């Protein structure tokens, strides 16, 4: 039984350590992947707001990684303290057990050993006394056996706790080294961020002009989306709602039954595929202060994704192509309807679908284009039938 306990403890120690190492390694690989994407997508070399956004994305990734490391360090330290306390308790317990066992052995010695004990039993005055003395000696031997087993079990547990303590101390040391490395990398990024901001402050007029163009594009895309949702609501009883699943395999275009599409789309909130396999969020949803222009805010109706050159953009869910259009500074735009929801893919260099196409999940929509600063990027939005903008990060699968 004791060996099973030790084996279970040892397996737990190893599996916990491996799991934590895998999580840390996964986070580290994600940071490297983010940097690889951001560093490879830049087309123009002069300082720009897009470069600043990339730096901020890297800082965000590093900070998250550091947070994971710090959390694991605290846990490793806590586990090390628990193991150390267990070692102290077991050592005290073993010491007490050995003292008790020594007293029993000495008591046996004083009574003359096993032969003397047998004589004690056989010198009974009657059978009843004989049985009582025999039971007493049997119980006495069982107590000794149990004490020996308890000492052995405690010693094995002590050995396993020492192994656990050593593992936790090694893990903590390794994490501290990684933490120091990441802190240095983060400091370099923050220094670089400061330099870029300083340089961009010299280009405030240019930044203001670009911001004006981006806002104009945003307003135009919003106008088109509101017109689209309004038109679909008026004609909701027709077209898309009448589309049904194919009854047989044929060369016809794939079809879907959209009456349940809204429900199914809402059910996978937080599990949607990303429109681009390898992508980094450089601008989040909502309103935030402009990183350079004082007193100015930036609004984003979706998320901006920095991607590799020629990156394929795919549908995140099955749906119908309701619009393919062009918007200045957003290039080609594709709008898909998923029942009472819409997904919008903009900044596309090329488009591979047409209005009316019924497409499946992961269907190629087009290829990513460049933003106003020459960085490869797409913008992804989610809307509902009421013309409300939704935060895509709450819908996409967490990376």
pLDDT band for position 1 (cuts 50, 70, 90): very low
Residue 219 and residue 370: Cα distance in Å, rounded? 19
H-helix or E-strand spanning residue 378 = strand 376-384
- The per-residue pLDDT for 162 is 87
Residue 342 and residue 54: Cα distance in Å, rounded? 28
* pLDDT of 19 higher than 50: no
DSSP codes of every residue in 244-270: ---SS--SSPP---GGGHHHHHHHTTT
Which residues belong to CATH 2.70.70.10 in the chain?
Answer: 224-394
pLDDT band for position 122 (cuts 50, 70, 90): low
Vertex 176, ends 170 and 177: CA angle to 5°?
A: 95
* Distances in whole angstroms, Cα of residue 248 to Cα of each of 81, 146, 245: 65, 73, 9
276 or 42, which is more confident: 276
397 or 97, which is more confident: 397
* pLDDT of 254 higher than 60: no
169 or 346, which is more confident: 346
- The per-residue pLDDT for 123 is 67
Q: Which CATH class is domain 224-394?
A: mainly beta
Q: What is the pLDDT of residues 184-219, one digit of tens each?
A: 999 999 999 999 999 999 999 999 999 999 999 999
User: What percentage of the chain reaches a pLDDT higher than 90?
Assistant: 49
Q: What is the pLDDT of residues 276-291, one digit of tens each?
A: 999 999 999 999 999 9
- The per-residue pLDDT for 130 is 62
């Amino acid at each position: 039984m004791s060996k099973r306990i030790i084996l279970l403890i040892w397996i737990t120690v190893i599996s916990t350590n491996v799991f934590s190492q895998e999580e840390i390694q996964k986070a580290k690989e994600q940071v490297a992947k983010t940097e690889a994407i951001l560093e490879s997508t830049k087309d123009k070399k002069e300082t720009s707001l897009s470069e600043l956004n990339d730096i901020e994305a890297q800082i965000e990734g590093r900070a998250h990684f550091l947070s994971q490391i710090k959390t694991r360090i605290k846990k490793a330290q806590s586990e090390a303290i628990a193991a150390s306390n267990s070692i102290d308790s077991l050592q005290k317990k073993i010491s007490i057990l050995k003292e008790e066992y020594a007293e029993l052995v000495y008591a046996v010695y004083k009574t003359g050993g096993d032969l003397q004990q047998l004589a004690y039993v056989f010198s009974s005055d009657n059978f009843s006394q004989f049985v009582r003395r025999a039971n007493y000696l049997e119980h006495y031997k069982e107590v000794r056996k149990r004490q020996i087993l308890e000492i052995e079990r405690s010693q094995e547990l002590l050995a396993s706790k020492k192994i656990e303590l050593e593992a936790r101390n090694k893990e903590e040391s390794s994490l501290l080294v990684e933490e120091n490395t990441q802190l240095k990398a983060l400091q370099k990024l923050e220094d670089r961020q400061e330099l870029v901001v300083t340089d961009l402050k010299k280009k405030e007029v240019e930044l203001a002009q670009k911001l004006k163009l981006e806002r104009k594009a945003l307003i135009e895309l919003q106008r088109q989306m509101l017109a689209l949702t309004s038109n679909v609501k008026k004609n909701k009883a027709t077209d898309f709602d009448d589309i049904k699943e194919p009854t047989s395999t044929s060369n016809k275009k794939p079809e879907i039954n959209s009456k349940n599409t809204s429900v199914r789309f809402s059910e996978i909130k937080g599990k949607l595929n990303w429109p681009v396999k390898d992508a980094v969020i450089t601008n989040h949803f909502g309103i935030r202060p402009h990183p350079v222009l004082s007193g100015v805010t930036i609004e984003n109706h979706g998320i901006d994704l920095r991607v590799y050159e020629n990156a394929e953009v795919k549908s995140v869910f099955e749906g119908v192509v309701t619009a393919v259009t062009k918007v200045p500074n957003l290039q080609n735009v594709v709008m898909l309807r998923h029942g009472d929801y819409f997904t919008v893919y903009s900044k596309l260099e090329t488009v591979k679908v047409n209005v009316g196409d019924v497409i499946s999940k992961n269907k190629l929509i087009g290829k990513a284009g460049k933003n106003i600063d020459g960085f490869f990027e797409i913008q992804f939005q989610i809307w509902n039938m009421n013309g409300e903008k939704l935060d895509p990060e709450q819908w996409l699968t967490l990376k």
